[in-house]
Amino acid sequence: MNISIILAAGEGTRMKSQKSKVLHEVCNKPILEYVVDSSKGADIKKNIIVVGDNESSIKEKFENKKLIFKRQPIGKDKPYGTGYAVMQAVDEIEDSSTVLILYGDTPLIREETIEELMDFHKEQGLDATVLTASLENPTGYGRIVRAEDGSVIKIVEERDASELEKEIKEINSGIYCFNGKLLKDSLNEINNNNAQNEYYVTDVIEIIKNKGYSVGGHKIEDPNEIYGVNSRLQLASCEKIMRERINEKHMENGVTLIDPDSTYIDGDVEIGQDSIIYPGVIIEGNSRIGKNCIIRQNTRIYKSDIGDNVYIESSTIEESLIEENSDIGPYTHIRPNSKIRKNVKLGNFVEIKNSEIGEGTKASHLAYVGDSDIGKDVNIGCGVVFVNYDGKDKFRSVVEDNVFIGCNSNIISPVYIEKWAYIAAGSTITDRVKENDLAIARSRQENKEDWVTIKKFR
Tell me the catalytic residues. Answer: 365
Give the residues lining the site for ligand UD1 (CB under 6 A): 7-10, 50, 72, 80-82, 84-85, 103-105, 141-142, 155, 157, 171-174, 200-202, 228, 230
Q: Which range in 94-102, 178-186, 230-238, 367-375 contacts Ca ion by CB under 5 A?
A: 230-238
CB of 238 to ligand UD1, least distance (A): 12
Phi, psi of 159 (to 5 degrees): -70, -20
CB of 288 to ligand UD1, least distance (A): 33
Residues 120 and 48 sit within 8 Å (Cβ to Cβ): no
Of the pair 105, 351, the CB lying nearest ligand UD1 is at 105
- The entry of ligand UD1, Ca ion, none near residue 80 (CB within 5 to 8 angstroms by kind) is ligand UD1
CB of 177 to ligand UD1, least distance (A): 15
- The entry of Ca ion, ligand UD1, none near residue 9 (CB within 5 to 8 angstroms by kind) is ligand UD1
CB of 196 to ligand UD1, least distance (A): 8
- The entry of ligand UD1, Ca ion, none near residue 360 (CB within 5 to 8 angstroms by kind) is none
Of the pair 12, 370, the CB lying nearest Ca ion is at 12
- The entry of ligand UD1, Ca ion, none near residue 10 (CB within 5 to 8 angstroms by kind) is ligand UD1
Contact status: 12 vs Ca ion (CB under 5 A)? no
- The entry of ligand UD1, Ca ion, none near residue 381 (CB within 5 to 8 angstroms by kind) is none
DSSP-derived pairing of the beta strands 46-51 and 29-30: unpaired
Residues 84 and 197 sit within 8 Å (Cβ to Cβ): no
The greatest distance separating any two alpha carbons of the chain, rounded to the nearest whole angstrom, comes to 113
Residues 54 and 20 sit within 8 Å (Cβ to Cβ): yes
Of the pair 57, 230, the CB lying nearest ligand UD1 is at 230
The Cα–Cα gap between 65 and 413 comes to 43
Residues 113 and 219 sit within 8 Å (Cβ to Cβ): no
- The entry of Ca ion, ligand UD1, none near residue 141 (CB within 5 to 8 angstroms by kind) is ligand UD1
The Cα–Cα gap between 403 and 143 comes to 73
CB of 223 to ligand UD1, least distance (A): 11
Residues 250 and 257 sit within 8 Å (Cβ to Cβ): yes
Q: What Å distances lie between residue 94 and 2, 36, 371, 380, 433, CA to CA?
A: 10, 21, 57, 68, 74
For residue 69, the cross-strand partners are 49
The Cα–Cα gap between 123 and 214 comes to 13
Of the pair 227, 331, the CB lying nearest Ca ion is at 227
Site mask for Ca ion (CB under 5 A), range 209-228, x = bound: -------------------x
Of the pair 106, 179, the CB lying nearest Ca ion is at 106
Of the pair 142, 307, the CB lying nearest ligand UD1 is at 142
Q: What Å distances lie between residue 428 and 11, 352, 361, 411, 435, CA to CA?
A: 60, 19, 21, 6, 18
Q: Which range in 101-109, 165-173, 183-191, 364-372 contacts Ca ion by CB under 5 A?
A: 101-109
Name the residue among 362, 373, 297, 354 with its Cα closest to residue 327. Answer: 362
CB of 130 to ligand UD1, least distance (A): 9
The Cα–Cα gap between 277 and 445 comes to 50
Contact status: 104 vs Ca ion (CB under 5 A)? no
The Cα–Cα gap between 150 and 219 comes to 11
Of the pair 157, 327, the CB lying nearest Ca ion is at 157
The Cα–Cα gap between 38 and 411 comes to 53
- The entry of ligand UD1, Ca ion, none near residue 155 (CB within 5 to 8 angstroms by kind) is ligand UD1
Q: Which residues sit at the interface with Ca ion, rule CB under 5 A?
A: 105, 228, 230
